[in-house]
Amino acid sequence: MTATAHNAPSVRGRVVIFDDEIAMGRILVKALGMEGFEAQAFTNPVEGLAALGGLQADVLLTDIRMPGMDGMQVLERMGRDYPDVPVLILTAYGTVEGAVSAMQAGAFNYITKPFQQSNLVAQIERAIEHRRMTQANIRLSEHLAEGAAPREIIGRSAAIQRVRQMIERTAPTMSSVLITGRSGVGKELVARAIHAQSPRRARPFVAINCPSISPGLIESEMFGYERGAFTGADRSKMGLVELAQGGTLFLDEIAELPGDIQVKLLRLLQEREIQRVGGLKQIRVDLRLVAATNRDLTAEMAAGRFREDLYYRINVVNIEIPDLSERVEDIPLLAVHFLERMSRRLRRSGLRLTPAVLASLTAYSWPGNVRELENILERAVVLSPTPEIDVADVFPSGDPATARAPPSSTPAPPVPAWPIDYHEARLRFEREYLRHLLERAGNITRAAQLSGISRRNLYDKLEKAGLADDLIRKK
């Protein structure tokens, strides 16, 4: 299980309010504050939505009629950007119709104005409880899914056999392991395998992705803090290191760890003790450290960015995972493995790779390593209307096996980054899919048969994607 930091506020919950009436916002903030909630009101929902990302709201309370953006639009944006934050609609008595359509649009519930404080609080509590339950469920199912099947390390190259052997040998020990290799080679997979094969397997595996925690927070996230350590620390909190008690601590991208944290980590490895921020007590921790990096730590040391003493502590055993292009014989095995997994996950039977595509996969240079292989195959399977995956599905912009120039002088064009906006991404996906479908099918009747979309529906989609003209040209 990947542990992330959770706020354990002593407040009952964080409520954000959108209401264009200043007085109403004030009343709500005050009333909720007295009930032990942390509340913040915005008269302008556009500003409120912009601020929401940083507020860690548990519930949103919104008016329906507001200038600039109405409650329905707020609901739509919430569904898109913050699907796990429940929305309660505030509505003036007598306009319940609006509330009903809001419920249909995904609101958690509605409250009529004037409201009774007790009812308001009860509704908020229910919404928060609902959110906690869903979050706990998600976390639990992730945990179960991982517990059920530790992922297998696929490959028969000498390099991978050596990696498997190193895992077997080091897993039973307490030695710190440093896993090195470029992006996407399988460093985290190996770290999890070490834990899964160790006597600590029943204890937690806590992964910390060092660059993802802001430098200002990393100490308290990792080592925890005592009550009163800083403003807002109204109770003490255990850090991720303590959460790994008895188990394995995985520090991913360890080269990114700030200097002062490197010192604290060194102390932890030497003394097997930590101190929480603002604490005096020494807390004993029993953990096994596995670290990973895609940087050259020797160069980082030479540049004065990584401590030498720490380096020797974490690098007791070094497992180096070579690039996928250096173990070509693993490519077909991995490809088949990923295809089987996708076929189970997407419930698409009979997925297979043509011999030509296997040749192309082996010829490609794989700068993104195994992760790239996994992603490219997933995209090919999703976009391919037939179960047979061919070269054009995997390499739409040219077959690496028949590329004239050597791959070093003509790197494969990068796959364009997906837009972050869900609707834009979906539009782009649909368009790419439809174009591909048409190319494969040749005409709309066949395209409808292959895709399982009705002809009428397909035509609408093509028109929306601006591809209907292609169809006429094709005819």
Ligand X SMILES: Nc1ncnc2c1ncn2[C@@H]1O[C@H](COP(=O)(O)OP(=O)(O)OP(=O)(O)O)[C@@H](O)[C@H]1O
Residues forming contacts to ligand X in the complex (CB under 6 A) are 151, 153-155, 181, 183-189, 294, 334, 370-371, 374
Q: How far is the CB of 190 from ligand X (least distance, A)?
A: 7
> What is the end-to-end Cα distance of the chain in Å, rounded?
54
Type of residue at 252:
D
Using CB distances below 5 to 8 A depending on partner kind, what does residue 112 bind out of ligand X, Mg ion, none? none
**Between 297 and 370, CB nearer to ligand X:** 370
**Between 117 and 161, CB nearer to ligand X:** 161
36: phi > 0 → left, psi -120 to 50 → alpha, else beta; which?
A: left
Q: How far is the CB of 292 from ligand X (least distance, A)?
A: 6
d(CA 124, CA 120): 6
Using CB distances below 5 to 8 A depending on partner kind, what does residue 86 bind out of ligand X, Mg ion, none? none
Using CB distances below 5 to 8 A depending on partner kind, what does residue 269 bind out of Mg ion, ligand X, none? none
Using CB distances below 5 to 8 A depending on partner kind, what does residue 224 bind out of ligand X, Mg ion, none? none
Q: Environment class of residue 271 by beta-carbon count within 10 Å: exposed (0-12), middle (13-18) or buried (19+)? A: exposed
Using CB distances below 5 to 8 A depending on partner kind, what does residue 184 bind out of Mg ion, ligand X, none? ligand X
Q: Please, which residues bridge with residue 208 across strands?
A: 251
**Between 293 and 360, CB nearer to Mg ion:** 293
Which one, of 335, 409, 408, lies nearest residue 373 by Cα? 335
SS3 17: strand
Interface positions with Mg ion (CB under 5 A)? 188
Q: How far is the CB of 337 from ligand X (least distance, A)?
A: 6
Q: Environment class of residue 23 by beta-carbon count within 10 Å: exposed (0-12), middle (13-18) or buried (19+)? A: exposed
**Between 153 and 336, CB nearer to ligand X:** 153
Q: Which residue is nearest to ligand X (CB)?
A: 186
Q: How far is the CB of 163 from ligand X (least distance, A)?
A: 8
Q: How far is the CB of 170 from Mg ion (least distance, A)?
A: 19
Q: How far is the CB of 195 from ligand X (least distance, A)?
A: 13
d(CA 114, CA 320): 66
Q: How far is the CB of 405 from ligand X (least distance, A)?
A: 28
**Between 63 and 372, CB nearer to ligand X:** 372
Q: Environment class of residue 181 by beta-carbon count within 10 Å: exposed (0-12), middle (13-18) or buried (19+)? A: buried
**Between 187 and 307, CB nearer to ligand X:** 187
d(CA 166, CA 13): 48
Using CB distances below 5 to 8 A depending on partner kind, what does residue 372 bind out of Mg ion, ligand X, none? none
d(CA 24, CA 17): 10
Check the CA dihedral 388-391-395-400 and report its sign: positive
Distances, alpha carbon 231 to alpha carbons 153, 207, 262, 280, 322, in Å = 46, 27, 25, 18, 47
| CB-side neighbour CA atoms (13 Å) of 438 | 23
**Between 226 and 320, CB nearer to ligand X:** 320
**Between 3 and 266, CB nearer to ligand X:** 3
Instruction: Dump strand ranges (E) for 93-144.
Output: 109-113
Q: How far is the CB of 207 from ligand X (least distance, A)?
A: 10
